[in-house]
């Protein structure tokens, strides 16, 4: 009887230890966030056990009466948040959304313009990612290391020469708004559909604090929903395009790249979108303020923070060249030992072979901002990073100071309800 319960409890113990580690750490991964209590509750509902292939009222399963109500509400909330005529909240991740759009808009061998990995592009846009697996002819935008953005003049030349069927903009290192306005005439001249990967900056767009891709020429926006948009690990496609293109996108979602679409996370996304309508503008503004402050403080302490020419960042992300400090891998691992969690990252001069030992580190401020960090905490955080990397202080001492900094920052902000993070599982003590 219950002969395998030991293994089950060991898995649960590991989950609790992970909770405790992040409770006592400073989370700075640019692609993560923490959910609100009401959104998290949705993950535990019966939605998580059900199937709903297709669109509302056109299902392949029975028992979807309440699913249809929920999905229609989530879709309408997405349209309101992004001021968009079209939205599909069914993709189960950002990459899944990217796959759907790739299948909808492009055939094998056709040309697409996309950011290079070392220029901040997402792995799904690489030759060994979604675009490559589709067999597309990928042409990377020239990148300007000084401005940390697409080189507009050189890109216009490339676009006119290659005439890609689709132009993809949007990055995983997304410091500044993409030059959609500057490239819009060229996109129209060559007849390219414009696809904006907004995974990292979706919450900043929703809050009206970054850029407005649909009004700047994008036909579709894809994104994950758990970064600056602080929801579940899910995906979404937003559209402002003709009906025929949108139908292709929806067919790309189902049956193109998914069957069931994880109904509990879709419900959690709906809660997040509702909270974004009420709190998104203030949250986005604070995220960007914190990123700017942290970048400035690290720069003043001797770190080579990129994007200085433009004020370091206009998003949640900052990147630093840490080659003189041992490289991205060494710095990220050393900070993790100090309970400061960020990631190594390719910089524009790195080739893809350096992905495991790149020149840089990437930092995001969206999660600590949701936990109530302000400019004063950014200054303390910069000092902790300085002490760990440049002064090489004992990690145990820094861990104690990290815990002290975190003591008063364990409540989730910018959401409905009062909720202490890391305490959402308290069963079986």
Q: Is 307 within a domain? A: no
Q: Is 330 within a domain? A: no
Residue 286 confidence (pLDDT) above 70: yes
What's the total number of domains in the chain?
1
Strand ranges (DSSP E) for 14-85? 26-27, 54-55, 58-59
Q: Is 6 within a domain? A: no
Question: 95: domain range?
Answer: 40-275
As a whole number of angstroms, the distance between CA 46 and CA 9 comes to 23
Longest Cα pair distance anywhere in the chain, in angstroms?
A: 71
Kindly list the strands in the beta sheet with 111-114, ordered across the sheet, starting from the edge strand earlier in the chain: 86-88, 230-239, 220-226, 193-197, 166-169, 111-114, 137-140
CATH at residue 133: 3.40.640.10
Which residues partner with 137 through β-bridges?
111
R_g (Cα) of the chain, nearest Å? 22
Please report the pLDDT score of residue 356 as a whole number: 86
Q: Which pLDDT tens digit goes with each residue over 395-410? A: 999 999 999 999 989 8
Residue 353 confidence (pLDDT) above 80: no
As a whole number of angstroms, the distance between CA 14 and CA 105 comes to 43
Q: Which pLDDT tens digit goes with each residue over 175-219? A: 999 999 999 999 999 999 999 999 999 999 999 999 999 999 999
Two structure tokens written together for 179: 């030059």
Residue 423 confidence (pLDDT) above 80: no
pLDDT above 90 covers a percentage of the chain that reads: 83
Please report the pLDDT score of residue 115 as a whole number: 86
Q: Is 391 within a domain? A: no
Residue 394 confidence (pLDDT) above 90: yes
Residue 343 confidence (pLDDT) above 70: yes
Residue 234 confidence (pLDDT) above 50: yes
Q: Which pLDDT tens digit goes with each residue over 19-74? A: 999 999 999 999 999 999 999 999 999 999 999 999 999 999 999 999 999 999 99
Question: What is the pTM for the complete model shown?
Answer: 0.94
Pairing of strands 111-114, 86-88: unpaired
Q: Is 213 within a domain? A: yes
Q: Is 105 within a domain? A: yes
**What is the Cα 372 distance to its own chain's centre?**
20
Return mean pLDDT, the chain.
Answer: 93
Confidence of residue 119 (pLDDT cuts 50, 70, 90): low
Burial environment of residue 404 by CB neighbours within 10 A (0 to 12, 13 to 18, 19 or more) = exposed
Q: Is 331 within a domain? A: no
Q: Is 355 within a domain? A: no
């Amino acid at each position: 009887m219950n002969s395998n319960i030991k293994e089950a409890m060991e898995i649960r113990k590991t989950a609790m230890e992970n909770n405790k580690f992040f409770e006592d750490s400073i989370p700075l991964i640019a692609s993560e966030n923490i959910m609100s209590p009401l959104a998290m509750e949705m993950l535990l509902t019966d939605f998580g056990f059900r199937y709903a292939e297709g669109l509302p009222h056109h299902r392949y399963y029975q028992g979807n009466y309440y699913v249809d109500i929920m999905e229609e509400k989530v879709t309408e909330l997405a349209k309101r948040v992004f001021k968009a005529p079209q939205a599909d909240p069914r993709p189960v991740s950002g990459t899944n959304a990217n796959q759907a759009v790739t299948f909808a808009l492009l055939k094998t061998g056709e040309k697409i313009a996309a950011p290079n990995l070392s220029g901040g592009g997402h792995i799904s846009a690489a030759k060994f990612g979604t675009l490559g697996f589709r067999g597309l002819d990928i042409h990377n935008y020239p990148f300007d290391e000084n401005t940390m953005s697409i080189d507009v003049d050189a890109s216009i030349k490339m676009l006119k020469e290659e005439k890609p069927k689709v132009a993809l903009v949007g990055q995983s290192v997304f410091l500044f708004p993409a030059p959609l306005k500057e490239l819009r005439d060229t996109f129209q001249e060559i007849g390219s559909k414009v696809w904006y990967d907004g995974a990292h900056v979706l919450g900043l767009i929703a809050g009206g604090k970054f850029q407005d891709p649909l009004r700047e020429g994008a036909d579709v926006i894809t994104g994950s929903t758990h970064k600056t948009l602080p929801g579940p690990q899910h995906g979404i496609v937003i559209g402002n395009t003709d009906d025929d293109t949108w139908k292709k996108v929806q067919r790309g979602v189902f049956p193109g790249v998914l069957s069931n679409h994880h109904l509990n996370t879709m419900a959690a996304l709906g809660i997040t979108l509702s909270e974004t309508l009420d709190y998104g503008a203030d949250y986005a503004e604070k995220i960007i303020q914190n990123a700017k402050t942290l970048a400035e403080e690290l720069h003043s302490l001797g770190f080579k923070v990129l994007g200085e020419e433009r004020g370091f960042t206009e998003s949640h992300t900052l990147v630093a060249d840490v080659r003189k400090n041992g490289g991205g891998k060494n710095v990220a691992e050393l900070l993790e030992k100090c309970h400061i969690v960020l990631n190594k990252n390719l910089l524009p001069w790195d080739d893809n072979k350096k992905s495991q030992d790149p020149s840089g580190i990437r930092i995001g401020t969206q999660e600590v901002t949701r936990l109530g960090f302000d400019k004063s905490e950014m200054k303390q955080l910069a000092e902790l990073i300085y002490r760990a990397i440049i002064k090489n202080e004992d990690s145990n001492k820094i861990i104690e100071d990290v815990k002290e900094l975190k003591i008063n920052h364990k409540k989730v902000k910018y959401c409905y309800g009062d909720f202490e993070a890391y305490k959402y599982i308290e069963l079986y003590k």
